[in-house]
Chain A
Amino acid sequence: MTQIALGWKSKSMARWRAIGGVPVLTLVLILAIVLGTAIGATNISPLYTAQIILNATHLVHIPQQWDAVDSIIILQLRLPRVLGAALIGAALGASGTLFQGLLRNPLADPLLLGTSSGAALGVTIVFLSPSLFVISWAGFSLAALMAFIGALVAVALVYRLATRRGQTPVVTLLLAGVAVSAILTAFQTLLVSLSTRLGLRLNDLYGWISGNVAVGTWQQVGVLTTLVALGLVAAIAVAPILDAFALGEEMAAYVGVRVEAAKLGIVILAALLVAAAVAGSGLVGFVGLVAPHLCRMAFGPRHRLLLPTAALAGAIFVVLADLIARSIVAPAELPLGVVTALVGGPFFIWLLGRAGTAYRW
């Protein structure tokens, strides 16, 4: 009887989670965004913050009870950054899920296949020539654009190297990723150590690489939103293919998946999402590794549900981490990557311990 009752309970729990996951996480994300926007150099009441944001949507009109400056601070200064953080987190969460599913590796991280070192090399090249700093596009600095390009080029290189006769074995992909990362990092270190001109900007470069939300304008938010939204929609569309990949590539082919085409498509999607995140914030580790794991613990392994929830969880995580990074030693800022690792790491370890053997790969 107990067995049956437990079975029923866990089954209904699973159903509830499947239905409730996305709405609940969306709600939490909205609250995190409001909180992140409200807290800063001058604290603004979260209630007012919410009202200001609601008014800005033009869907409702709430009589103004707040200082007009607050409205400008919220809408022009803070909200773009917080939304940028959310988009970066969503991109990292989704791309981490894509990579873990594709590579069938629990350690897979969005920065794995050369993306981090490619982006870092790209940024270093920009930092070497100060004259390039004037160039920007859609609010993104040349450094951000070079990070985007560097990440994509690195993944393309890794994929090309790992492909033989139309086949790209996952293990080769991982090994090529490690090798290309090492080579690109070596190049970057070489550039830094040979350059006499880097000087004081070395700190800036290091700060950039260790990650900070560098999204400050609505134009940037628009570009990121387009990229991330397209990437997410496409990722959710191909999600069941990742489920099939869990059976192994051979079995995936037997159930009707065009394995090589699917692999290439998923790598392109994941690389675009990572590149978007890297362009927006530099190298923020840990989010893309942890968000998929957390959501798999909570919602199970099916990628149709895992991808949107991991994206939402990543968004919540980065919004809150960014809030901590810029408020804990205000007016200075901590690198975002440091906060995600220092806060996220212990939390993840605690969760793993709590889940114990119940968290099954």
Chain B
Amino acid sequence: MMQPYQSATTDDPLALECVELRYHYAVGSRADASAALRGVNLRVAAGEMVGLLGPNGAGKSTLIKVITGTLAAREGVARLWGDEVRRLPREEIARRAAVVPQDFTVQFAYTVRQVVGLGRMAHTGALHIPRKADHAAIAAALVATNLTDFADRVYNELSGGERQRVLVALALAQHARLILLDEPTAHLDIHHQIAVLELLRTLNREQGLTIVAALHDLNLAARFFPRLVLLDRTVIADGPPTTVLDAALISRVYATPVRVGILRGEAHLSVLPPGERAPDLTPSTPVAHIIAGGGAGELLMRALADAGLGFTAGPLNIGDSDQVLAERLGATCLLEPPFAPVSPAGLAAARELIRRSGRVIIAPIALGHGNVALLEIALMALHEGAAVWILLDADQADTTGEAREDAMQSALAARDFSGKGLAGYQALIAAGARIAAQPGEIVAALTLE
């Protein structure tokens, strides 16, 4: 199991916190055999946008029900904005967390405005007499979901995508700062799936709403959610898409072999069923030269290859894992004998390759006296007009600003055995080298260029 994902939290209460949450449906049966939730731990800070993944029966819907108190946890604690759900009255839960279910039809011919108005149930007191604020909330929810023109249409007669927007509007009218979605795009075509997810992203960014969405489509999840939680009755993985959408992990949890990579022209990871034939390994014109070694370039080289982007690499020691991989991926690779330092000839050859592609990417390699000169040729290339990318260590991917600088320095210190690494990096950054947290960023940028 992976480490729980650490988000940039403040001292404010978490929007959602689950501690060792357990639930099982059948009473009297052996608890663990039928367990829908086997000790779920999850922390979601205010303003996050989290995709909840997992196969059918993984407990995604159950988790949403337990979080909102419609099912009572057998063990463990669920908290909404700092308070235990089981101690909150139903109206208060509704004011703290709104749920958007899968598209459904309602009994009777209610209009869109009337359905959205039901979001005010928890705000209108015992007699449910709407006031100005309630009408304003309904109007605002209709505007935010672009439904104003539909307000007086009959809800049941709308298309699935439109109905889903109405349900999002209902949740907005509820004025809860946390919105939980249970497979909101399950019945929609691709156009409406994207429309709903874009709406959620807009609400997350512009209104600061915290969003937790159970999703089936791994590719859309990767595209829209900066943080993914892979659930299979407990949290299997939690982190950015690059961490969670691991081919081996997904294949195991979904019991289906998959490939994970970045499609040509795309900026996000994709999960695909295994193809009938092996991926096309014929390299295209190299778009960049990679300085790698010791496995530091593995993710990057795979991402480039998956995107169909050719590259060159080296100098690498023969037998180095990055060298083996680069050869397997069909890349031109400059070679040095095993365990030998980089030779002047190798450096010259590397400069030539960088000149040809006009780009160099420095993987987070261990720096020693034998290879620190590679930073110098990168700097020279930069001055000659080449683009230089610095790829961060994988565990720095989710840091930003000063935290990233600190993390970078400490990570660098851990792999710099030459004593010149920090100065080398600082010179590169000062001269305009670009920093990428994930291989995907570089692939995206190269594809766009």
Contacts and interface: CB of A to CB of B under 8 A. Distances in A.
A56 interface: no
B114 A243 contact: yes
A104 B109 contact: no
A300 B109 contact: yes
A244 interface: yes
Name the interface size band of chain B: 20 to 34
A92 B70 CA distance: 33
Contacts of B107: 104, 245-246, 361
B106 A247 contact: yes
Contact of A255 (B110, B114, B119): B119
Contacts of B106: 246-248
B144 interface: no
Given A240-B128, A247-B115, A256 B109 contact: no
A333 interface: no
Contacts of A10: 152
Residue picked from B68, B106, B124, most chain A C-beta under 10 Å: B106
Interface string A150-171: 0000000000000000000000
B152 A244 contact: no
A240 B65 CA distance: 23
Contact of A251 (B101, B111, B127): B101
B121 A244 contact: yes
A244 B118 contact: yes
Given A240-B124, A301-B108, A360-B109, A256 B94 contact: yes
Interface in B141-182: 152, 154, 156-157, 170, 174
A7 interface: yes
Given A243-B114, A250-B70, A255 B108 contact: no
B22 interface: no
Contacts of B156: 360-361
A240 B130 CA distance: 10
Residue picked from A10, A11, A247, most chain B C-beta under 10 Å: A247
B98 A248 contact: no
A184 to B, nearest CB: 28
A251 B94 CA distance: 10
B99 A254 contact: yes
A296 interface: yes
Interface residues of A, number: 30
A300 B124 CA distance: 21
Nearest to B111: A300
Residue picked from B94, B95, B121, B122, most chain A C-beta under 10 Å: B121
B90 A257 contact: yes
Contacts of B174: 255-256
B109 A243 contact: no
A253 B121 contact: no
A246 B110 contact: yes
Given A253-B70, A254-B94, A256-B94, A246 B108 contact: yes
A228 B111 CA distance: 30
Contacts of A246: 106-108, 110
Contacts of A17: none
A245 B122 CA distance: 14
A14 B152 contact: yes
Residue picked from B94, B107, B128, most chain A C-beta under 10 Å: B107
Contacts of A302: 110, 114
B104 interface: yes
A124 to B, nearest CB: 36
Interface string A286-322: 0000000000100011100000000000000000000
Interface in A10-24: 10-11, 14
Given A11-B152, A237-B127, A247-B118, A254 B108 contact: no
B118 A255 contact: yes
Interface string A89-104: 0000000000000001
A360 B98 contact: no
Nearest to B98: A254
Nearest to A254: B99
A246 B154 CA distance: 14
A253 B118 contact: no
B225 to A, nearest CB: 22
A201 interface: no
A258 interface: yes
Interface in A224-276: 237, 239-241, 243-248, 250-251, 253-258
A259 B122 CA distance: 13
Contacts of A247: 104, 106, 115, 118
Nearest to A10: B152
B104 A248 contact: yes
A248 to B, nearest CB: 7
Nearest to B65: A250
Nearest to A297: B109
Given A240-B128, A360-B109, A255 B152 contact: no
A250 B101 contact: yes
B110 A254 contact: no
B91 interface: yes
B70 A360 contact: no
Contacts of A253: 68, 70, 90
Given A296-B108, A361-B107, A257 B121 contact: yes
Contacts of A361: 107-109, 156
B366 interface: no
Contacts of A248: 104, 106
Contacts of A244: 118, 121
A349 B170 CA distance: 36
Nearest to A262: B90
Nearest to B90: A258
B149 to A, nearest CB: 9
B262 interface: no
A250 B106 CA distance: 12
Contact of B93 (A256, A296, A359, A360): A256
A255 B170 contact: yes
A251 B156 CA distance: 16
Given A248-B104, A255-B170, A240 B121 contact: yes
Nearest to B68: A254
Nearest to A255: B121
A246 B105 CA distance: 9
A255 B104 contact: no
Given A251-B101, A360-B156, A301 B121 contact: no
Closest CB pairs A-B (n = 8): A256-B122, A256-B94, A301-B108, A360-B109, A240-B128, A254-B99, A256-B91, A104-B107
12 contacts: A10-B152, A104-B107, A239-B128, A250-B65, A250-B70, A250-B101, A254-B68, A255-B174, A256-B90, A300-B111, A300-B114, A361-B107
Given A247-B115, A248-B106, A256-B95, 14 more contacts: A244-B121, A246-B106, A246-B108, A246-B110, A250-B65, A251-B99, A255-B118, A256-B121, A258-B90, A296-B109, A300-B111, A301-B108, A302-B114, A359-B109
Interface of A: 7, 10-11, 14, 104, 237, 239-241, 243-248, 250-251, 253-258, 296, 300-302, 359-361
